[in-house]
Amino acid sequence: MPQHFEADVLLLHIAAGASRSTPPPGNLAQTAPRRAARGRGEDLIFVTLDLKSTTPVSPGHTDQLARLAVEAFYGTPGSVTAALREAAVAVNDRLLSGNQNLEPSETVEGSLVIGVLRSNDLYVAQSGMGQALIVRPGQIGRLVSTEAAQRPLGLTVAPHVRFHHLEVSPGDLIILTTAKPPLWSDPTLAGVAGLDPARALDTLVSATSQDMTGIMMRMVPRGEAAQLPSAPARASRAELEAAGAPPRAGRRARPETPGKASRAAAVITRVFGGAWELIRPPLTAAGDSVMRLVSRLAPGLAEPSRVGSFTPGVLIGTAVAVPLIIVVIASVVYMRRGRSEQFRANLTQAQAAVVAAQFKASGEDTRPDWERALYWLDQAATYGSSAEAEALRQQVNEALDRVNLIIRLDFQPAVSGGFGATAHIAKIAASATDIYAYDDADQVIWHAWATGRGYEIDREFECMGSATSGTALAKIVDLVIQPAPGALGSEGMVAVDETGRLLYCAAGSHPAFGNLTAPDIGWGRIQAVDEMNERLYVLDPVGNAIWVYDASDGLFSGNPSFYFAEAVPRLKDAIDLAVTQDDMLVLYQDGRLDRCRRSVENLPTGGTKIGVECDPDQRFTDDRPGYEPSATLPGAPPISMVYTPPPEPSLFFLAGEDRTVFHYSMRLVYQGQYKSNDPFEAPISAMTVGPPKDLYLAVGSQVYYAQPVR
């Protein structure tokens, strides 16, 4: 049963190298209100918001938007990620609405980082610049999204939200901030592990010169934390006005005491004050010009008016202001009623398409109706949102997934915080207990081992990028698992660079290096490698060859043998290969697949005869009605291919602009597609499958894994 945690919280406000005692605007830590939505009652929320503009932004406005995010979160039922997205949407919509009335140079951009603590789970959402730091004894984690940092709130209709999730333990120190990473080095952060937030803050303030705001919290068992304020069910109008924030567009002002002109004028000022500040300078200039013109045409109007009469300035100002007020009121009415009617009309069209699909029996026959429903839901989303529309969208997406045989998986991050803030994982290999990841940004090969609840980075691993690997390699082309005993006496990994240099690494062992003996014709370009039964297969499309190296004491050495015999297929556009017990599979850039089988015959006169038969006319098939066999991988050009051995041998293809994983049987019969429940923040850069049948995907600085279930 999960342990329940609370947090000792300290609000961070660092300016000019010192900690400020004033609370930073836009930073809140609150418990659930009494009337929270279903599923929100046990959630603790931590919000840090920063607004940037070329003109000063009111701290009260920042606080109001932070409270708006809290209100939206606790008002949204369902999953934590859905509620976090609604919080980001609420802030984004308010900023986007305000930016429509500003010059492009004065646009307000928002950076929002929200943390939600539920039991021992911490969920983090990032929109715009920001990061979450996790400090544990002996471990530093950095949750940061470069893509989210480049897409602040207030600029697009749909906000970009990057989600993170981790399990917390007693004593964990968590820092949420919208400051640009990195803030502190790993040694500095490691030095505050175990300190209470106040002492940790003193250490961190002295180690940075960057101005920042944020939230620091120490995880403690339930009942041991200082009391957090409870979130109000809804911020009152008086609070919003006191904060200096503009009221919601379209809300009609009510005088506190009917009949008193001064009170009514105050209400009008509150409603139209923001708009008036924008239009006052041009109106003043226009009014002066009109007055000069009137004075020339009718000098009498410029003379002092009689007592009790209206001045020319009042008359002209009224003539100018009345049309403007009418336009403002019409705009408010449209924003409240016109957009609402458009939203409802599009939603009705989507509902009609769903009903039409439900009256059809065949899954494939329903596809046009489900796709039409999704189109109308997208149109409706441009005018607003509702719980009804979100529920209908989920129904439509699930139906389209069934039609397309798309399986949504809950991919979990392999290691907390990824493999480093600057890492980019380009190649991965996995065994039953280990992950090897090549970071081409920092030229490092990482090793992570299974702990039973995920993976942990092996800080003692000696390989490329470690202090003991004294030999430099060129760009790594591929990684493969080498079964025990291998080159180092245990299961490990072999990396091959573009020059044919080999690197052997295993946990607990010093790395070993070697070279592939170049063929007589030399290397064209090493594209991909695979290992099977102590043999290394090397694809060289430029040299139109596949070379085979046998292992001697685990080291791939000696002169290579040519895989093919008499006839050699045209390998110029080959991008990957996979070796099974019986076949060689070659994947081409256009999605074609060759299947070759090699035979060795002992001759009566001695010696052997090698024969290779290739079938280039492989067909991808789909058992669903209406699908014809295809000579290329349907849907998208491929990127890579992975073979998985019995008991259920299969082929997995990473393909398409959205980097989808396609699953086929060895007879090339379509089995389905695998996608993540939560979209990844960046394209998938590498894929592999490890025993027993875990699917591993490299995305940015992280490796995610899941068990495919059909």
Name residues whose C-beta falls within 8 Å of residue 272's C-beta, 6 or more positions apart in sequence. Answer: 325, 328
Residue 85 to residues 58, 161, 676, Cα–Cα distance (Å) = 25, 7, 17
- Kindly tell me if the per-residue pLDDT of 158 is higher than 60: yes
Residue reference for tokens 């695998």: 674
- Kindly tell me if the per-residue pLDDT of 260 is higher than 70: no
d(CA 167, CA 119): 9
- Domain ranges in the chain? 5-235, 276-301+313-404, 408-706
Identify the residue with better confidence: 417 or 303.
Answer: 417
Extract the tokens encoding 29.
Answer: 């830590």
Beta bridge partners, 118, equal 121
| CB neighbours of residue 279 within 10 Å | 16
Identify the residue with better confidence: 689 or 34.
Answer: 689
The mean per-residue pLDDT over the stretch 60-81 comes to 92
d(CA 681, CA 698): 11
- pLDDT at residue number 305: 40
The mean per-residue pLDDT over the stretch 37-61 comes to 90
Q: 5-15 as b/e, with b when 16 or more CB fall inside 10 Å?
A: bbbbbbbbbbe
Extract the tokens encoding 406.
Answer: 């798309």
Q: 438 with 495: CB under 8 angstroms?
A: yes
Beta bridge partners, 117, equal 44, 122
Cβ burial of 92 (10 Å; 0-12, 13-18, 19+) is buried
pLDDT bracket for residue 244 (50, 70, 90): very low
Helix (H) / strand (E) element for 177: namely strand 173-177
Name residues whose C-beta falls within 8 Å of residue 410's C-beta, 6 or more positions apart in sequence. Answer: 676, 677, 706
d(CA 397, CA 393): 6
- pLDDT at residue number 242: 41
> Which of 93, 100, 99, 97 lies closest to 127 in space, CA to CA?
93
The mean per-residue pLDDT over the stretch 50-78 comes to 91
Residue reference for tokens 């279903």: 38
Name residues whose C-beta falls within 8 Å of residue 395's C-beta, 6 or more positions apart in sequence. Answer: 354
- Kindly tell me if the per-residue pLDDT of 574 is higher than 90: yes
Q: Percent of the chain beyond pLDDT 70?
A: 83
pLDDT bracket for residue 108 (50, 70, 90): very high
Give pLDDT tens digits for 518-563.
999 899 999 999 999 999 999 999 999 999 999 999 999 899 999 9
pLDDT bracket for residue 327 (50, 70, 90): low
d(CA 148, CA 682): 10
- Kindly tell me if the per-residue pLDDT of 477 is higher than 90: yes
d(CA 24, CA 539): 58
Average pLDDT of the chain, as a whole number: 83
- pLDDT at residue number 243: 40
Least confident interval from 93-107, 318-332, 633-647, 684-698: 318-332
Give pLDDT tens digits for 172-189.
899 999 999 888 888 888
Identify the residue with better confidence: 23 or 246.
Answer: 23
Name residues whose C-beta falls within 8 Å of residue 489's C-beta, 6 or more positions apart in sequence. Answer: 506, 509
Residue 77 to residues 2, 72, 82, 347, Cα–Cα distance (Å) = 22, 10, 8, 21
- Select 5-235's CATH number: 3.30.310.50, 3.60.40.10, 3.30.1360.230, 3.40.50.720: 3.60.40.10
- pLDDT at residue number 296: 45
Q: 631 with 651: CB under 8 angstroms?
A: no
- Kindly tell me if the per-residue pLDDT of 608 is higher than 80: no
Least confident interval from 58-62, 204-208, 591-595: 204-208
Identify the residue with better confidence: 325 or 336.
Answer: 325
The mean per-residue pLDDT over the stretch 85-103 comes to 89
- Kindly tell me if the per-residue pLDDT of 73 is higher than 50: yes
Measured in whole angstroms, the distance separating CA 614 from the mean position of its chain's CA atoms is: 42
pLDDT bracket for residue 227 (50, 70, 90): low
Domain 408-706 has CATH 2.120.10.30: yes
- pLDDT at residue number 333: 53
d(CA 710, CA 579): 25
Give pLDDT tens digits for 488-516.
999 999 999 999 999 999 999 999 999 99
Give pLDDT tens digits for 125-148.
999 999 999 998 878 889 998 888
Q: Is the pTM of this model over 0.75?
A: no
d(CA 554, CA 482): 8
Highest mean pLDDT among 14-18, 292-296, 326-330, 671-675: 671-675
d(CA 73, CA 116): 10
- pLDDT at residue number 264: 41
> Which of 663, 646, 641, 642 lies closest to 710 in space, CA to CA?
663
> Which of 189, 285, 229, 282 lies closest to 7 in space, CA to CA?
229
d(CA 134, CA 236): 35
- pLDDT at residue number 116: 94
Beta bridge partners, 613, equal 597
- pLDDT at residue number 511: 93
The bridge status of strand 670-676 relative to strand 406-409 is: parallel
The alpha carbon dihedral of 395, 678, 167, 161 has a sign of negative
Cβ burial of 235 (10 Å; 0-12, 13-18, 19+) is middle
Q: 373 with 396: CB under 8 angstroms?
A: yes
d(CA 53, CA 75): 29
d(CA 9, CA 269): 39
The answer, yes or no, to whether the previous bond of 152 is cis (omega within 30 of 0) is no
DSSP assignments along 487-518, one per residue: TTTSSEEEEEETTSEEEEE-TTS--EEEEPPP
Q: 432 with 692: CB under 8 angstroms?
A: yes
- Kindly tell me if the per-residue pLDDT of 269 is higher than 60: no
- pLDDT at residue number 435: 96
d(CA 428, CA 481): 10
Beta strands per DSSP E along 453-570: 455-457, 476-482, 492-497, 501-505, 512-515, 528-532, 535-540, 545-552, 555-556, 561-562
Extract the tokens encoding 170.
Answer: 């007693």
The mean per-residue pLDDT over the stretch 276-297 comes to 48
d(CA 560, CA 580): 19
Residue 141 CA neighbour count, 13 Å, CB half: 26
d(CA 62, CA 56): 11
d(CA 214, CA 130): 10
d(CA 236, CA 315): 38
- Kindly tell me if the per-residue pLDDT of 322 is higher than 70: no
Identify the residue with better confidence: 651 or 305.
Answer: 651
Identify the residue with better confidence: 283 or 45.
Answer: 45
